[in-house]
Amino acid sequence: MAGRAGCEGQAMRIVTEFPHAIAEVPHLTIPMPDGVRLAARLWRPAGAGRVPCILEMIPYRKRDGTAARDALMHPWFAGHGYAALRVDLRGSGDSEGVLTDEYTAQELADACAVIAWAAAQDWCDGAVGMMGKSWGGFNCLQVAALRPPALRAVISVCGTTDRFADDIHFKGGCLMGENAGWGAVMLSYSSRPADPLLRPDWRADWLARLAADVPLAPRWAGHPARDGYWRHGSVCEDWGAIVAPVLAVGGWADGYRNTPFALVRNLRTPAQAVVGPWGHQYPHEGVPGPAAGFLQIARRWWDRWLKGAANGAEADAPFRLYVQDSAPPDACAAHRPGRWLALPAVAEGGGHALALSPGGVLGGAGGALAAAVATPQDHGLMAGEYFPMGADGEMPCDQRADDALAVCFDAPPVAAAVDLIGRAVLRLRLRCDRPRAFLVARLCDVAPDGASLLVAHGMLNLCHRSDMADPAPAPPGDAFDVAIALDWMAHRLAPGHRLRLALATSCWPFLWPSPEAATVTVLEGWLDLPADPGPAAVWSPPEPEGAAPWAHRKLGPDRATRRIERDLIAGTVTLTVEGETGDREDAAHGLVTGASLKERWTIHPGDPLSAAARIVLEQRLSRGDWRVRTRAETAMTATSAEFVIRSRLTAWDGDAQVFDRQDEDRIPRAFG
């Protein structure tokens, strides 16, 4: 049987009858070699005997945090003949131990042990696939590089291959605002206890978790070069290490859009990419739409590589891309017009090169320039979030406000539609008046009415102009060459629209500003557009579907606000983000959870050292008379010599405060 349900504004087909009945074990534990036991949830086809296992291993809590998305996905796999195993990482959810950082050697060793354990169970035929989104999209690739014997295939959604160059910590060598933002989130997420119904030792375990829950943002900011810390877990260090076939999935609205292209272009094992219009979501819940039938796409991959089915999946096009049409900018877009194409290859540059010409012209004869780029520090407020979930104003706004602050080069309007599929590379000769400076490039689609739609962007810390692993101050006054690779794109420029290249030295709060207001003078430049990918076939993905939604009772409303405020007296500009996730009660076990968020990102347009961020997150859990609450506060400022990150973590058991720790970290800022 099937029905329809709303999925972030798009209908999803809900399936309730499957080829196999579904047997669920809501909680089991898996022993690790050191005696720690990891908590898991298992769905499998009843009476099917030994079947392949699909593993997802993340820190976001099977009991409550991912219950809604797990309900749609893992029972669906079980109903189609797979065991689906959802595991809480060590120190998260109902698992024992402590969580100390992202993608540690311990985490990856645990994953290998879980794979071996699953392969040896009497319900598994010995074949295991690993999948996940975001954290799970990272660690499944990292585990694949370790080659556990039972791991036969991987599906990575919104992951990365390079932890330094293409994650939320640094981009182009520039420290991202999300480094502090995500650090604040993990400080809060990691503060929650296990469910007392499953862990009688929950309180002692909780206090141990709180004691180990140290701020991670200072640790990440303390590695401003691509050193061994970042090389660990970056699978681009050795593409040949991965032998399991990889399906890589991404979204054009997501910050991790580059990963599918890196994997397919570099892996020596079978690899394919599916990239749609979505933000940081699984495609069957994808926003902006159209969503796609991720579960059917995944099943085709699993059937081929875990069951050995001769379904031809290995011959599918290496790149299945949604080419987005020109559209009005909308930070809350529910849908992006466009079309799906299947392509054998995509290019990085190598197409038509547009010169940067005097008078702000993109194209033309080129030649000598003296374009001084020195943007106010509040440039970038229209950029949106690094990994938007697709709602609540998180996607890029109309870029006109930022364009007005930047140095822009405009191409003539196109007479006929132009497809931009691949990656553009900006090549510049420039000089800088400071030893530390950033350069940010945005490629925009400008409509006849002046609306400016962000297509792709790229950025470079000029200290990293030659080597991400060995940065050096820029030579003030001397001319030098740089290349900035913009993010991958698939965009159709409509007739009458024009391309705009906007250059800036700031992008707040997407990037934490360089310590001095610098002027970067462009002396010469070219925008190398991607070569035409050649003939393409039309591809039609399956419609989104899922199993029955999570059974729960909503006890309070969700609320979200996002606003930009300018203080006319102080001259500061503040981005405020507030959110409330109303309490929800799980229908099966009665756990009630809720959360709140407040962020303030403030800067003075004339002073990079005025940048300040304050983030407060609260978590609530309760059942009957039992209730706990945690509050994680993070504040970041900077001097010319240091980043200053102050954190406070507080916890309450009922009305009694049981934990309170304050930290202050000062991190030298050598290169940014």
2-173+224-343 fold: Rossmann fold (3.40.50)
Q: Which two tokens stand for residue 45?
A: 């086809």
pLDDT band of residue 629 (cuts 50, 70, 90) is very high
Average pLDDT over residues 56-63: 98
Amino acid present at 276: G
pLDDT band of residue 10 (cuts 50, 70, 90) is low
Integer Cα distance of 137 and 294 in angstroms? 14
Query: 75 by DSSP, 3-state: which?
Result: helix
Integer Cα distance of 409 and 443 in angstroms? 10
Stated as kind and residue range, the H or E segment containing 178 is: helix 177-189
Bridge partners (DSSP) of residue 6 are 11
Integer Cα distance of 468 and 150 in angstroms? 35
Average pLDDT over residues 386-406: 94
Q: Which two tokens stand for residue 419?
A: 């497809």
Q: Which of 319-328, 383-392, 544-553 has the lowest mean pLDDT?
A: 383-392
pLDDT computed for residue 75 by the predictor: 98
660 neighbors 632 (Cβ within 8 angstroms): no
Predicted confidence (pLDDT) per residue in 170-199, tens digit? 999 999 999 999 999 999 999 999 999 999
- Of residues 668, 649, 618, the one with CA closest to residue 210: 649
Integer Cα distance of 6 and 68 in angstroms? 13
Residue 87: count of CB within 10 angstroms of its CB = 27
pLDDT band of residue 408 (cuts 50, 70, 90) is very high
CA 200 to chain centre: 35
Predicted confidence (pLDDT) per residue in 648-664, tens digit? 999 999 999 999 999 99
Angle between helices 294-306 and 67-79 (to 10 degrees): 50
197 neighbors 289 (Cβ within 8 angstroms): no
Q: Say how many residues make up the chain.
A: 672
Per-residue pLDDT at 528 exceeds 70 = yes
Give the DSSP letter string of 224-269: -S--HHHHTT-GGG-GGG--S-EEEEEETTSTTTTHHHHHHHH-SS
Q: Which two tokens stand for residue 620?
A: 């609530």
pLDDT computed for residue 534 by the predictor: 87
Average pLDDT over residues 204-223: 98
138 neighbors 145 (Cβ within 8 angstroms): no
Average pLDDT over residues 51-60: 98
276 neighbors 286 (Cβ within 8 angstroms): yes
Query: Percentage of the chain surpassing pLDDT 70?
Result: 99
Average pLDDT over residues 287-291: 97
pLDDT computed for residue 9 by the predictor: 44
Integer Cα distance of 598 and 614 in angstroms? 8
pLDDT band of residue 391 (cuts 50, 70, 90) is confident
Integer Cα distance of 87 and 73 in angstroms? 14
On the 0-12 / 13-18 / 19+ scale of CB atoms within 10 A, 3 is exposed
Task: Please state whether 492 falls in left (phi above 0), alpha (psi between -120 and 50) or beta.
Answer: beta
Angle between helices 135-146 and 105-119 (to 10 degrees): 70
556 neighbors 25 (Cβ within 8 angstroms): no
Query: Percentage of the chain surpassing pLDDT 90?
Result: 97
Per-residue pLDDT at 6 exceeds 90 = no
Per-residue pLDDT at 3 exceeds 60 = no
Average pLDDT over residues 469-492: 97
Between 236 and 389, residue with greater pLDDT:
236
Residue 288, preceding bond cis, omega within 30 degrees? yes
Label each residue of 78-118 as H, E or C. HHCCCEEEEEECCCCCCCCCCCCCCCCHHHHHHHHHHHHHH
Amino acid present at 538: V
Predicted confidence (pLDDT) per residue in 227-279, tens digit? 999 999 999 999 999 999 999 999 999 999 999 999 999 999 999 999 999 99
Per-residue pLDDT at 526 exceeds 90 = yes
Q: Which two tokens stand for residue 244?
A: 């399991």
175 neighbors 183 (Cβ within 8 angstroms): no
pLDDT computed for residue 482 by the predictor: 98
Predicted confidence (pLDDT) per residue in 142-177, tens digit? 999 999 999 999 999 999 999 999 999 999 999 999
pLDDT, mean over the chain? 96
Domain spans of the chain, in order of start: 2-173+224-343, 347-532
Integer Cα distance of 85 and 54 in angstroms? 6
Predicted confidence (pLDDT) per residue in 103-129, tens digit? 999 999 999 999 999 999 999 999 999
Amino acid present at 629: R
pLDDT computed for residue 4 by the predictor: 39
Bridge partners (DSSP) of residue 40 are 28, 87
Average pLDDT over residues 572-581: 97
Average pLDDT over residues 341-347: 96
Per-residue pLDDT at 644 exceeds 70 = yes
- CATH level 2 (architecture), domain 347-532: Sandwich (2.60)
Bridge partners (DSSP) of residue 175 are 170
Stated as kind and residue range, the H or E segment containing 206 is: helix 202-212
CA distances from 521 to 148, 362, 364, 525, 556 (A): 51, 17, 20, 11, 53
9 neighbors 289 (Cβ within 8 angstroms): yes
In which order are the strands placed within the sheet that holds 545-546?
A: 2-7, 10-15, 545-546
Residues 6+ apart with CB under 8 A from 467: none
Give the DSSP letter string of 510-575: TBPPPSS---EEEEEEEEEEEPP----EE--PPPPEESPPP-EEE-S--EEEEEEEE-TTT--EEE
